[in-house]
Structure 1
Amino acid sequence: MSLAFRQLLPAIALILSLHSCGAHYSLVRIDGTSVPVDSVFDPLISGRVTEIIGDYQSDLAEEMSPVLGTSAAVMLSAAPRDYNVLANTVADILRDAASGIDEDVAFAVINVGGLRCDLPAGPISVGTAFELLPFTNTMCIVTLHGDAVLELFGQIALMGGEGVSEDVNLTVTADGRLLDARIDGVPVDGDADYRVATIDFVAEGNDGMTAFKKASGQFYPDDCLFRDIFIRHVRRLASHGQALQPKTDRRIFVK
């Protein structure tokens, strides 16, 4: 840097400072348009890029195509939250897996929003599992005091429902108030501790279930990616000649 330029630096800095201090901007409007990504762009596609993507698509299709087992019925992800058969079925799968690790697990909770597609009747492929559970969520077993469990069930009532395992029975009002909460038919004891299975995303208090932030302990078992738990469960059923059955019992009762 030349001596002359260095001598000019203070003056340049002063000019920029005065300019920035004197400039006041306010947002007048925001304009935007939708640009559909369709066949109009096909001529712009690089042949080499298409070739590379094609190779990956072929490999991916090979990995996603194996059939794990079958579903005995259609289960809808967008079913009513207070009676979501898919969410309840998946919650039971999580509960069963957690019980094999910790026999003191009392129940399981899964967020309906984490189930990203319907489960069709018939073959369940690896690809189906990835579509249903696309996130890398892992099992988490937490310890909640009874009053936090009641708070959790109150939050579930307020949201209109979530996926809960068959151990749970909730009675709620149409406007989202919790009237009664039972685990294995017994009213929740506000002074007891409960082991609860869920996924890491929910255990962090997301999707409105902030009561999980009051957990006195969290345990993340090894090799327990939630999607892998689902895959292993379906494969195990298939190995015994069984299909995945929908859990149609009602667990949340609206009065």
Structure 2
Amino acid sequence: MKFKNIFLVLGLLLSFSCKTPSDVYKIEGKNVNVNDSIQAKPSIESFIKPYRENINKDLDSILAYAVDTYSKSDGHLNTAIGNLMADVVYDEADPVFFKRTGAHIDFVLLNHGGIRSIISKGPITKRTAFEMMPFENSIVVSKLPGAQVKELLDYLAKAKRAHPISQLKIVLDKDANVVESSIKKLPIDFNKTYYIATNDYLINGGDGMDFFKASEEVIVLDYKIRNALIDYFMKTDTLNPVMDDRFIQLKD
């Protein structure tokens, strides 16, 4: 019995010693396309169904009404839908910013590409806000020196794109030079600093807006642009945004 136990121990030691750090294991994977050919599992579907119905009911609850259809391609340097988004960010975020800091937002700058959907004529719902802004972008406020505000104006003049702005006015001459600029109808003082509401993508230099990297301070409001849109829709009966003269180019 003693020798039998010794042989058993030796056998076990030899079996473990066969595996060394140099052993190679091959793991294979394959792509599985998720499409309509995959049948739903009834038990999972019945579990999810009430949640899906509740979410859809919430998303499709009518909050307001749009008198027309609006697209970000409707205008040259400013669009009705872009003006609406920028104005909403100003109107909804400024009270939050003031309560937190005792200061007011001076103007808003967002990006043209951040508008991901049209607003269709008719009922406005929470789903409208999710379609316009499917990303998780949040509102942040940059304390920006006047020198970088000048860079901001030059950027917009060169881009000649309808990046949404609010409380800021820019006039270009026929050669795309800035000939007039104001904030809340007052001439810009490039020796001052200004509080600019934007999003957390642009504040890090997104879309080439590197001037935001010189921010003296960045105040995070913990307020998503999508939620600001929803808050605005909930207290607005009718949407009727327009293109205006906040960013224009003179012909002569």
Query: Which protein is bigger by CA-based radius of gyration?
Result: 2
Written as runs of structure 1 = structure 2, the 5 A alignment for 1:203-218 is 203-218=203-218
Corresponding residue number in structure 1 for 2:73: 78
**Structural RMSD (CA):** 3.0
Matched letter for residue 207 of structure 1: D
TM-score of the superposed pair, with normalisation by structure 1: 0.75
Deviates more, 1:171-180 or 1:153-162: 171-180
1:130/1:175 Cα in 2 relative to 1: closer, same or farther (>3 Å)? farther
> Partner of 1:83: helix, strand, or coil?
coil
SS in 2 for 1:82: coil
**Corresponding residue number in structure 2 for 1:68:** 63
CA distance in 2 between counterparts of 1:219 and 1:99 reads 12
Percent sequence identity is 24
Task: Please identify runs of 4+ aligned residues in structure 1 that moved more than 6 A.
Answer: 1-7
Opposite residue 208 of structure 2, the aligned amino acid is: G
Picking from 17, 33, 46, the partner of 2:39 is 46
1:164-243 → structure 2 map (5 Å cutoff): 164-165=165-166, 167-172=167-172, 177-222=177-222, 224-238=223-237, 243=238
Distance 1:78 1:228 in 2: 24
Contact 2:75 2:243 in 1 (8 A): no
Q: Distance in 2 between matches of 1:49 and 1:138?
A: 38
Tell me the residue number matched to 1:107: 107
Deviates more, 1:210-219 or 1:173-182: 173-182
Unmatched 5+ residue regions in structure 1?
13-36
Structure 1 position 173, deviation (Å):
5.2
Alpha carbons 1:81, 1:112 under 8 Å: kept: no
Letter matched to residue 121 of structure 2: A
